[in-house]
Every structure is written in structure tokens, then in C-alpha cells.
Amino acid sequence: MTTVEQGLQSQVRNIEKAYGHSIDELTKVIGASGLTKHTEVVAMLKERYGMTHGAAHRVGLVARDRLGVGTSAGAKAAAPGVDAVYAALLALARALGPDVEEAPKKGYVSLRRRKQFAMLQPGAKHVNLGLVLPGVKPSGRLEAAGTWNALFTHRVRVESAAGIDGEIEGWLRDAYRAAG
């Protein structure tokens, strides 16, 4: 998986499998519901189908986009350049060593060595780079992962390929080394 679009398609397939409904079927349900606000669609999907927030969010975005409902940035495709950021970060991770394993998950790709050390999660405006860096204090753009994802200690939001610098390379390399 090398593009944001492929990652999103994988996420939708996983949601379809987990909840037993096709995206086409869910789109029809959303269209028939008359709901137009994203938060209302998400709440309905969570209540009616028992979806997690992330699954309901993705289904809502896809369905609302297909139905031409809403104009929020979240309902649009990834911003130009997000594919390039994702591909550049993935290439950087692959270059760390021959033992880097890519494990696609729902909505992101996990990067593993002996254990998970990082992840790439495409978003509408940036790519989240999750890192496992025990003992490293967050500062600047190296944020604490907090409640974003409990599997990681830190997150960096990368908005452009130009933002992939020596600092990001160093953090990714340190996480890789700690996982070996």
C-alpha cells in the first residue's frame, strides 16, 4: 500500500467485513435518513450498526461524498500532496533496514521490526506519523500521542513532503532502533 487512496480503500473493505454491510448499502441508508450533518450521520451509524467512532466517521465521509452532501474539508478527498507525504514517509521507513514490515490496518499502516515502532495514517490535510519513543519528551511538532492512539508515545502531523526533514528522519530511526 503506497497511496492514501489505497489506504482508504483498505479501510472501507475492513469496515464492510467487520460490520457485514457494503459501503453502497450504507450510503443508501445514509441518503434515506435525510441526515446532512456529519456528526448526526456518525451518531446514527454508531447507534444503528454498533460501529466504532472511526468506522462511522469513515463511512460517513465516503457516503456524504458520494451523495454530494456537505462541504466540510473532512468530506473531501485528501489534499494534494498527502499522497506524496505518505509515499515519502513510507520510503524513509523502508530504507531503515530490510527487516521493516508493513502491516496494513484499518485506516493506517503499521511499521514493525521485532515490534511495532511507527505508523502512517493518512488524513484529509496531513499524514499522522505515530512513533514509539519511550523516554523522549514531546516538544514542538513532536506531540505526545495522548488519547490519539494508545499504542504510540508520540505523533507528528506531516503536511508536506518539505516537512520531512532530518528531525523526522531521526525520530523514525530512533523508534526503529528501539524496536530491534
Domain ranges of the chain: 4-75, 82-178
Q: What is the pLDDT along the chain (180 residues), one digit of tens a residue?
A: 456 677 778 888 889 999 999 999 998 998 888 887 888 888 999 999 999 887 888 888 888 778 876 533 333 345 557 778 888 898 899 999 999 998 877 678 899 999 999 999 988 789 999 999 999 999 999 999 988 888 899 999 999 888 899 999 999 999 999 998
CA torsion sign, 169 to 173 to 175 to 176? Answer: positive
CB 133 within 8 Å of CB 175? yes
CA distance linking residue 65 with residue 67, whole number of Å: 5
Buried b / exposed e along 2-19 (16+ C-beta atoms within 10 A): ebbeebbebbbebbbeeb
